[in-house]
Amino acid sequence: MATVTQYDVLSVLKRMAAPDGRGNVVSAGLVSDIAIQGGTVMFALTTSPQHVKTMEALRGAVEKAVLGIPGVDKAMVALTAERAPQQPGQPPQPQVQRGTGIPGIKHLIAVASGKGGVGKSTTAVNLALALKSLGLKVAVLDADVYGPSIPKLFGLTGKPEPSSAAGKKMKPMTRYGVEVMSIGFLVPEDTAMIWRGPMVMSALTQLLRDTEWGESDVMVIDMPPGTGDVQLTLAQQTPLAGAVIVSTPQDLALIDARKGLNMFAKVNVPVIGIVENMSYFVCTKCGERHEIFGHGGAREEASRIGVPFLGEIPLDKEVRLRSDSGEPVVATQPDSLHTALYRDVARQVWASLQGGQLARPAPRIVVDGQ
């Protein structure tokens, strides 16, 4: 098979006219860095909110032209929003260019954290399974391209199958009754780490839009950790109904959670609430509750800034072991304390999505000798 080069791609792109008579898409500066992996070509086209409709047509045409290059079997082209010109002395204002809905999916929610390692993915998986246990249809999208851990957490391996209907689409994988799609199914784990913003967006656009999702009440999106440009663009371009922020009680993690709140506020995505993970530790021997990281910080912070507090999940060896072996607690230990706590979070999330008032703060469950 022919090896695809940047030159091949650029030559084709230079023949594509930019909007408003601005020459071609390359000379108009609309094309991001181009990433090529085997027969897959990925890049982004820059647009502004008022041009989204015309640019969507151009995006389709560009994708088709790139697919015509010998050796290309997949073209992933995303639209990325241009930043508004910054006024002197003003903070940068991201432009809202929310994507259109995903057919079949009623509500999309993001699970986010200000930094890595706080249990965001574990929370996303168990929240998804808890929503499922409430009788809802659920899908999970792993958008954490820098460290896609969802396949491992669900115990899924292998590659998604192409959809039988529309040749270009993929079927999501299914586990524990939940539809799952992850970049981890498509590229080796270490490849995505080096991607820059536009690559991430084009990969995610493809995952979201080129997967043949079934009908779902909720899609849980596991966001990349942090609050940088990639996360902001993702929050901006995905039609999110809301976001759940995961934080540990340590000060530092809380400061980062605040950054997460600000990020969603900037792009007008409502924050459904905060979950405090690794909140406390119940000793398996003495049954006593140890508040290793100080505990309760997220609850206080939530009340201070007027965001619902959704609950606290204890630090527990079982959660870790089961997460890491692809048997998440909510699916495999339905009667455990953890499952009850995650279901409580799920109930509040669902009530919030239904536009209902959050009836009450999460109950503080005290366990003796769990």
330 contributes a contact to ligand ADP by CB under 6 A = no
Distance of CA 362 to the CA centre of its chain: 25
Rounded CA gap, 266 and 285, in Å? Answer: 46
119 contributes a contact to ligand ADP by CB under 6 A = yes
182 contributes a contact to ligand ADP by CB under 6 A = no
Stretch of residues binding ligand ADP (CB under 6 A), selected from 97-105, 111-119, 164-172, 344-352: 111-119
Closest among 367, 344, 235, 251 to 300, alpha carbons compared: 251
> Cα separations (Å) of 134 from 71, 271, 341?
47, 21, 13
Minimum gap (Å) between residue 324 Cβ and ligand ADP: 5
Q: Which two tokens stand for residue 2?
A: 């022919």
Task: Select 171 or 320, whichever has its Cβ closest to ligand ADP.
Answer: 320
Strands 289-290 and 271-282, by their bridges, are antiparallel
Radius of gyration of the chain (CA): 21
242 contributes a contact to ligand ADP by CB under 6 A = no
299 contributes a contact to ligand ADP by CB under 6 A = no
245 contributes a contact to ligand ADP by CB under 6 A = no
Rounded CA gap, 151 and 336, in Å? Answer: 23
End-to-end CA distance of the chain: 59
225 contributes a contact to ligand ADP by CB under 6 A = yes
Number of residues that bind ligand ADP (CB under 6 A): 19
142 contributes a contact to ligand ADP by CB under 6 A = no
Residues 6+ apart with CB under 8 A from 72: 4, 39, 40, 41, 66
Minimum gap (Å) between residue 360 Cβ and ligand ADP: 23
Minimum gap (Å) between residue 113 Cβ and ligand ADP: 5
Side-chain half-sphere exposure of 127, counting CA atoms within 13 A: 36
Answer for which of 118, 130, 150, 183 binds ligand ADP (CB under 6 A) is: 118
Minimum gap (Å) between residue 369 Cβ and ligand ADP: 18
Answer for which of 128, 140, 186, 313 binds ligand ADP (CB under 6 A) is: 313
Minimum gap (Å) between residue 57 Cβ and ligand ADP: 37
Is 139 strand, coil or helix?
strand
Minimum gap (Å) between residue 293 Cβ and ligand ADP: 11
324 contributes a contact to ligand ADP by CB under 6 A = yes
Distance of CA 205 to the CA centre of its chain: 11
Q: What is the dihedral of CA 38, 40, 45, 49, to 10 degrees?
A: -150
Stretch of residues binding ligand ADP (CB under 6 A), selected from 22-30, 199-207, 319-327, 361-369: 319-327
Answer for which of 32, 55, 114, 120 binds ligand ADP (CB under 6 A) is: 120
Q: Which residue is nearest to ligand ADP (CB)?
A: 119
Rounded CA gap, 223 and 114, in Å? Answer: 10
Phi/psi-derived region of residue 72, left when phi > 0, alpha when psi is between -120 and 50, beta in every other case: beta
Stretch of residues binding ligand ADP (CB under 6 A), selected from 10-18, 35-43, 83-91, 114-122: 114-122
Q: Tell me the H-state helices in the chain.
A: 6-13, 52-67, 120-133, 150-154, 189-192, 197-209, 229-237, 251-266, 297-305, 317-324, 329-332, 337-353
Stretch of residues binding ligand ADP (CB under 6 A), selected from 34-42, 119-127, 191-199, 260-268: 119-127
Answer for which of 104, 116, 155, 296 binds ligand ADP (CB under 6 A) is: 116
Minimum gap (Å) between residue 9 Cβ and ligand ADP: 34
Answer for which of 189, 320, 344, 358 binds ligand ADP (CB under 6 A) is: 320
Answer for which of 122, 205, 216, 339 binds ligand ADP (CB under 6 A) is: 122
DSSP code of residue 166 = S
277 contributes a contact to ligand ADP by CB under 6 A = yes
Binding site for ligand ADP (CB under 6 A): 113, 116-122, 149, 225, 277-278, 313, 315-316, 319-320, 323-324
